Amino acid sequence: MKHFRILTASFLISSIIVSGITGCGGGEEAQAPVEVKKTAVETQLAKSDTIKSELVYAGQVKPNETVNVTSKISGQVSKVNYDVGDKVNAGDVMFTLDPKDIQDQIRQLQAQLNVSNASVRSARTNLAHVDGAQSDSQTLTLSTAVQNAEKERENAATDYENAKISIENSKIAIETAKENVENAKATLDNATEKYNNMKILYDAGTITKSDFDAVELAYTQAQKAYATAQNSLANSQNALTTAQNALSQRENAKAKAETAYNQAKENYDIYVGKTKGENRETAQAGVNSAVASSQSVQTQISILQSSLNDTAVKAPISGIITTKNISETNMVSAQSAPFVIVDMSKVTVDVNVSERLINVIKPGDTVNVTIPTIGDTIIQGRIKSITPSADNTKTYPVKIEIDNAAGSIKPGMFAEIHFVESQKDNTLVVPRNTVLENETEKYVYVIENDKAVKKVVETGIDNGDMIEISSGVSFGENIVIKGQSYLSDGDEVNIVGADGANTSGSDNQDSNASKGE
């Protein structure tokens, strides 16, 4: 069992007075007392322990990853599924865009594809007839193909005219929307002026709150009406763009239908006017052209199908939403960032260490981390990276990674990183104040036969609280750890407290002190 006694100033130096009194009669003088001084000390057995020296650096906690959630396409938001503070998993749909415009374009291209496929079938039929298949009915088939192509041409022309009408209607709608915006702006300007004037009167106490509330309500409604008019104008402009795209597509369809008709007519004329041998090369070219046209339309449809899938905008990583800049009916573009997600499953701390430490640590090393905001608990961190060259502050940036599965560590918290500069196991370690020193040497006192013996030592790691004795003292020796400042080599001592040492001297001292009373 370890025994500890706290030394106080009143008994740092214990004096034991031994008196011898002799006398054969009342007239004889008493013998003078003999005084022996002993210094009170505490001791500790020299034993092996571990000592380490740490350097502490401070930094702020940062999230492991921050990602902007963006849309690949532009469009109007139809639904928003999350808000700030929500946790999301990678692949969750953050928001969706209105797919109507894309679906309309796909339907238009599908119609073109039907025309192109019909042309392919016609061209292949013609080629087959040239090669001898169904030669008896070839003239009738080609005639029918011409008639069908003519009908397709007429339908494409009708669609084209309808698309032109849609453009005109869209332009009218835009003009109307612009007038509405101007009217709403004028109303808002009037409402703003009145609101500002009434605000002055209300602040001065000239009008009642109910009067001011009515003016404020009108001002708010005018703002909303102006915003609605602007959105309506934007929608009308988008509708015009869609109609113009449709016109371009239908113009292409019209041209293709015309081409298909001309091709069918030409095929008919070739077959009727020329031999199969002369026609085959031309018929094959017709097939190739029709197939290429069909493939082109199919490619456009595939691109739009991909865009249709992109209307569901998904979270690229799992994490917490920290920023939201989106609401339903908003227009978003590929350049905007409606959401920001941070990954908090792990956090990092950036610190800059000195050259004294840079060659001691390496990536993958574990370090102790304390975050005062969440308590005194020591958290395990890991060195994620070390920049091999110093920055302009002549220090080396080091990134520390910390697991944060519980989510208790937040970005911006202050963290202290404890780096082990040096460590030694199974070495002799004593309290720092145990070692005394003068201009030429370091030394300690050990107890031998109740006397203090000075021993010169060499020291190693010193962490401020404890110090390593690398030579000069052997394991098992009884080292003075308190009271050593009052000793000289050879002084007699009283051990009043000991860690693992014989305390018989202490018991004797207590007994002698009791007798002295």
Is residue 84 domain-shared with residue 120, that is, in the same domain?
A: no
Check: CB of residue 385 under 8 Å from CB of residue 399. yes
The first and second tokens of residue 367, run together, are 């370090």
In a domain, 88, yes or no: yes
In a domain, 360, yes or no: no
- Nearest to 71, CA basis, from 317, 320, 315, 324: 315
In a domain, 359, yes or no: no
- Residue-wise pLDDT for 361-393, tens only, equals 999 999 999 999 988 889 999 999 999 998 898
Is residue 78 domain-shared with residue 138, that is, in the same domain?
A: no
Is residue 167 domain-shared with residue 270, that is, in the same domain?
A: yes
Q: What is the pLDDT of residue 137?
A: 60
Check: CB of residue 311 under 8 Å from CB of residue 79. no
Is residue 177 domain-shared with residue 303, that is, in the same domain?
A: yes
- Nearest to 401, CA basis, from 348, 345, 342: 348
pLDDT tens for the chain, 517 residues long, are: 333 333 333 333 343 333 333 343 444 444 555 555 788 999 999 999 999 888 899 999 999 888 888 888 888 888 888 988 888 988 889 888 888 877 788 888 888 878 888 888 887 877 776 666 445 566 777 778 888 888 888 888 888 888 888 888 888 888 888 888 899 888 889 989 888 988 898 888 888 888 888 888 988 998 898 899 889 888 988 888 888 888 888 888 878 888 888 888 777 777 666 555 566 677 778 878 878 888 887 888 788 777 777 788 888 888 888 888 888 888 888 778 889 998 888 899 999 999 888 888 999 999 999 999 988 889 999 999 999 998 898 999 999 999 988 888 988 999 999 998 888 899 999 999 999 999 999 999 999 999 999 999 999 999 888 999 999 999 999 999 999 999 999 999 999 876 654 444 434 333 333 333 3
Check: CB of residue 119 under 8 Å from CB of residue 287. no
Is residue 208 domain-shared with residue 320, that is, in the same domain?
A: no
Distance CA 372, CA 379 (A): 11
Check: CB of residue 417 under 8 Å from CB of residue 349. yes
In a domain, 154, yes or no: yes
Average pLDDT over all residues of the chain: 81
CATH of the domain at 74: 2.40.50.100
In a domain, 420, yes or no: no
Q: What is the pLDDT of residue 279?
A: 62
Distance CA 321, CA 85 (A): 5
- Residue-wise pLDDT for 265-280, tens only, equals 777 777 666 555 566 6
Is residue 192 domain-shared with residue 303, that is, in the same domain?
A: yes
| Rounded-to-10 torsion of CA 169, 172, 176, 178 | 120
List b or e across 177-203, with b for residues whose CB sees 16 or more CB atoms inside 10 angstroms: beebbeebeebbeebeeebeebeeebe
Is residue 291 domain-shared with residue 237, that is, in the same domain?
A: yes
- Nearest to 323, CA basis, from 411, 219, 421: 411
What are φ and ψ of residue 418, in 5° steps? -100, 110
Other Cβ atoms within 10 Å of 206 Cβ, number: 11
Is residue 273 domain-shared with residue 320, that is, in the same domain?
A: no
Total of domains in the chain: 3
In a domain, 337, yes or no: no
Is residue 168 domain-shared with residue 242, that is, in the same domain?
A: yes
CATH of the domain at 182: 1.10.287.620
In a domain, 481, yes or no: yes
- Which structural domain range is residue 215 located in? 100-308
